[in-house]
Copies of this chain bind each other. A is one copy, B any other.
Amino acid sequence: MEQFTSFSEEDRKLLNELAFKRQRQYGAGEDIIREGEHSSDIHLVLSGLACRYKILEDGRRQILAFLVAGDPCDSEIFILKEMDHSICTLAPSVIASISGGIMRDLLLNRPGIALALWWGTLQDESVLRERIVDHGRRDAYSRIAFLIYEMLLRMRAVGVIEDQHFEFPVTQADLADATGLTPVHVNRMIQRLREEKLIANEGKRWTVLDPAGLREAAHFNPNYLHLDRAQAEPDSNVAKRLKGLI
């Protein structure tokens, strides 16, 4: 959440306390919130891995986004009456619940936190757009490379990387559901990436051996992550601009 703006000490302490207050351990493959439901709480991934997904009429699944430590799950629930997709864990995870009422106070009184959520929404949208390009116009090989490279950047952003290693506890079937491919073909593409010495993985521990090469394979252009904005624009300006808004 702090990717775009830095919280004040107070903000951070407040959020930490809230997140600490009500947390729950989930196993792998448990739903956190389901399509059609409404919750008065919003959820936050503290550790592990979750994903947004939809189930088609015929039972197939499409994963829309992965949620890593620090990602809010369902901030849209303030405005929309019910979820249009579900969220489940992919690995054992710790999820915090924050009551909607308290969150509303935070948004009202803590521009730093409101800002972070707002930016998060817009970045989510941007990521979704990039995924459409990915699905519409890139081949299976690039798609897998893209997904892994994006995960590398996100893991790096939240600081859970040592060397080029990171935990990404998904099955190849999960990757298939995320990329719109079949597990069989995901397997073949991963093998190719391994043969080309771009990545390696033992179990759920992934390693990017050649970041530049992987990025090349993915045709990755980081524009859409809006990562540079944080540097480009001093926080005070952004905060001011938001203040004009809310």
Contact = CB atoms under 8 A, between A and B. Distances in A.
Interface of A: 35-36, 52, 54, 56-57, 60, 62, 64, 76, 78-81, 84-85, 104, 107-108, 118-119, 121-122, 124-126, 128-133, 135-137, 179-180, 219, 221, 223-224, 226, 229, 232-233, 238, 241-242, 244-246
B129 A76 contact: no
B245 A122 contact: no
Nearest to A245: B107
B57 A219 contact: yes
Given A78-B245, A108-B245, 7 more contacts: A57-B221, A62-B137, A64-B132, A79-B241, A80-B122, A128-B132, A136-B180
Nearest to A128: B128
Nearest to A57: B219
Contacts of A56: 133, 137, 219
Q: How many copies does the complex hold?
A: 2
B128 A125 contact: yes
Contacts of A233: 81
Interface of A is mostly: helix
B133 A132 contact: no
Contacts of A224: 84
Nearest to A143: B136
Nearest to A219: B57
What 6 A-B pairs come out closest when comparing CB atoms?
Answer: A136-B180, A135-B135, A128-B128, A246-B246, A62-B133, A84-B224
Given A54-B129, A223-B35, A246-B246, A136 B179 contact: yes
Contacts of A126: 80, 84
B79 A242 contact: yes
A129 B84 contact: yes
